[in-house]
Amino acid sequence: MTSTIFHGYNKKIQGKIKVPGDKSISHRAVLLGSIAEGKTKIDGFLMGDDCLHTMQIMRQLGVRIEKDGESLIIEGNGIDGLSEPADVLDVGNSGTAMRLLIGLLSARPFYSVLVGDASIHQRPMDRVVLPLKEMGANITGRADNRLAPITVNGRKLHGIEYDSPVSSAQVKSAILLAGLQTEGTTIVREPELSRDHTERMIRAFGGSVTTEGMVHTIVGPQKLTGTHIKVPGDISSAAFFIAAALITPGSHLIIENVGVNPTRTGILDILQAMGADVALENERLVNDEPVSDIVVRHSSLKGAEIGGEVIPRLIDEIPILALIATQAEGQTVIRDASELKVKETNRIVTVVSQLRKMGADIEETDDGMIINGQPGKPLKGGNVNSFGDHRIGMMLAIASQAAKEPVKVDHAESIAVSFPGFETLLESVR
Ligand SMILES: O=C(O)C1=C[C@@H](OP(=O)(O)O)[C@@H](O)[C@H](O)C1
Ligand SMILES: C=C(OP(=O)(O)O)C(=O)O
């Protein structure tokens, strides 16, 4: 275990930075590049632990993937170019890798076993196993096929119409990746719109998915063609730096080249409602994905009500939003966020317990949390724990901006799951 000490009380945040590539887009780029025909070049690929696991797995499935300077080059041989792996496929800490790969492999004519770390082996896989079984897939797992290790005996599937009970891009994407390989029409309906990177990227590779409202339709089988993907910076990573600047007097930060797909920018909508001085500049489209620079200045904030359709658009930003809310005037209520219980940790429990340890007025609810902000009152430093959850680790590191004493974060090594270089970048703007 690595413990890291963060000490930044009131150190203003200044400068112009870039954050590493978007994790969701990087996973999809390497998956789709691997099943496309011809060469795919990926610039800005996130070299974080999660995406490196996906890349390694595609190599185990027989795909040639090489680093060329800052780029990844994939020599795709089409979907039939994948071959049975000689060993188990290890997704590490990545739910996205596990769930998208179950979908992709369920229609491949070979046997694979997917494993991960202790956290992954506790996270629900039935949400993808059930719809894929409806498509005819042969998938087994621990605990009545709910948990990993998961075994996939790939075979020919048939299209389905599926009403997903959760707004999950991982569920939607697993079904679309199976549907892409399946004769006929596959339809997924979700309660609220989740991130749509899979749909956009299938189109960037020359394929077709249509979306009307919350209904996504794919007609298979489809062939994809290699392309050039430029991965923008990850807004979920940028959020930690936006938070640091917002809560620290005198701060002014520019974050260049961040993905601002509307299915991901719930954090910006809520921050603006809280009174934050956050603006987008230089907006453009890259591979059908909106990209922008983000300019943020220290702001006096007020509490907000956060729930409903915005939740899937900011699900990974709730830990850092909770910290921001401790520094805002009044009450912040987060509801409809039960999905937090099945992330790398139960993020309702870990956020509330660790921020409370630092002196925040925060309590758990059934589907979220309530925070009574105490702007002007410093948090307490001391020893806190990420419990191996990268987003909790980074939230606690940023909390050191508002804590008088140093903050020692246990299991800080988990930060590399999504944000290699986080500590160095933070030092560079303090
Ligand atoms: O599809 C993706 O890339 C992701 C979808 C979200 O999970 P769910 O699909 O479980 O909501 C998100 O929390 C995760 O970090 C990445
Ligand atoms: C939940 C996350 O990722 P995953 O589901 O891919 O493990 C995350 O990055 O916050």
Q: Which ligand is nearest to the CA of 48?
A: 2
Asked whether residue 24 is marked as a ligand-binding residue, the answer is yes
Q: How many angstroms does the Cα of residue 247 sit away from the middle of ligand 2?
A: 25
> To test the ligand 2 pocket, which listed residue (123, 234, 339, 344) has its Cβ within 8 A of the most ligand atoms?
344
Residue ranges of the chain assigned to CATH 3.65.10.10: 3-21+232-429, 23-230
Annotated ligand binding at 264? The verdict is no
Sign of CA dihedral 84, 128, 26, 350: negative
Residue nearest to atom 15 of ligand 1 (CA): 316
Position 93 scores a pLDDT of 98
Fold of 3-21+232-429: UDP-n-acetylglucosamine1-carboxyvinyl-transferase; Chain (3.65.10)
For residue 198, which ligand has an atom nearest its CA? Answer: 1
Q: What pLDDT is recorded for position 420?
A: 97
Inform me whether the pLDDT recorded for 226 exceeds 90: yes
| 241 to 14, 30, 76, 289, 314: CA distances (angstroms) | 10, 27, 36, 22, 15
For residues 6 and 405, give the distance between their C-alpha atoms in angstroms, rounded to a whole number: 9
CA-169 nearest atom, ligand 1: 9
| Residue ranges of E strands in 132-276 | 138-141, 147-153, 161-163, 184-189, 209-212, 215-220, 228-230, 252-259
Report how far residue 129's alpha carbon sits from residue 147's, in angstroms, rounded to the nearest whole number. 10
Q: Read off the pTM.
A: 0.98
Place of tokens 């139960």: 346
Q: ∠ CA(420), CA(244), CA(236), 5° rounding? A: 50
Q: Which of 315, 321, 341, 344 to mutate for ligand 1's pocket (most ligand atoms within 8 Å of CB)?
A: 315
DSSP readout, 341-355? GGSSS-HHHHHHHHH
Contact 264, 233 (CB under 8 A): no
- CA 150 to chain CA centroid, Å, is 21
Q: Which of 96, 122, 125 to mutate to test the pocket of ligand 2 (most atoms within 8 A of CB)?
A: 96
Alpha carbons within 13 A on the beta-carbon side of 158: 2
Instruction: Characterize the bridge pairing of strands 252-259 and 14-18.
Output: parallel
- When pLDDT is cut at 50, 70 and 90, the band that residue 70 belongs to is confident
Amino acid at 215: V
**Nearest residue to 343 via CA among 130, 132, 94:** 94
Q: Which residues does the annotation mark as catalytic?
A: 316
Indicate whether 307 pLDDT > 90: yes
Whole-number percent of the chain with pLDDT over 90: 99
pLDDT at residue number 284: 97
Residues with CB under 6 A from ligand 1: 24, 95-96, 168-170, 173, 194-195, 315-316, 339
Helix-helix angle 23-35:95-105, to 10 degrees: 20
The tally of CA atoms less than 13 A away on the side-chain side of residue 382 is 10
What are the Cα distances from residue 233, in Å, to 170, 236, 238?
20, 9, 8
Q: Which two tokens stand for residue 342?
A: 């099945």
Contacts of 173 (CB under 8 A, 6+ apart): 28, 99, 100, 103, 198
Q: Using CA positions, which residue lies closest to atom 12 of ligand 1? A: 316
**Pairing state between β 37-43 and 71-77:** antiparallel
The annotation status of 28 as a binding-site residue, yes or no, is yes
Closest by Cα among 264, 261, 293, 288 to 278: 293
Known binder of ligand: residue 94?
A: no
Q: What digits encode the pLDDT tens for the residues 320-374?
A: 999 999 999 999 999 999 999 999 999 999 999 999 999 999 999 999 999 999 9
Span 260-281, average pLDDT: 98
Report which ligand 1 atom has the smallest distance to the Cα of 173: 1
User: For 155-181, what is the mean pLDDT?
Assistant: 98
Convert the pLDDT of each residue in 80-110 to its tens digit. Answer: 999 999 999 999 999 999 999 999 999 999 9
pLDDT above 70 covers a percentage of the chain that reads 100
DSSP, residue by residue, 235-266:
HHHHHHHHHHHHHSTT-EEEEEEEE--TTTTH
Which ligand sits closest to the CA of 31?
1
Residues whose beta carbon lies within 6 Å of some atom of ligand 2: 94-96, 316, 343-344, 391, 418
Query: Which residues, 6+ apart, have CB-to-CB distance to 358 below 8 Å?
Result: 379, 380, 381, 382, 384, 396, 399, 403, 407
- Tell me the pLDDT of the chain averaged across its residues: 98
C-alpha angle 244-355-390 in degrees, rounded to nearest 5: 65
68: β partners: 71
What interface predicted TM-score (ipTM) does this complex get? 0.99
pLDDT given for residue 79 in this prediction: 98
Ligand 1 atom 13: residue of nearest CA = 316
| Interstrand relation of 64-68 and 252-259 (parallel, antiparallel or unpaired) | unpaired
Domain 23-230 top-level CATH class: alpha beta
Q: What is the pLDDT of residue 317?
A: 98
Given this model, what pLDDT does residue 265 score?
98
pLDDT tens-digit profile of 107-165?
A: 999 999 999 999 999 999 999 999 999 999 999 999 999 999 999 999 999 999 999 99
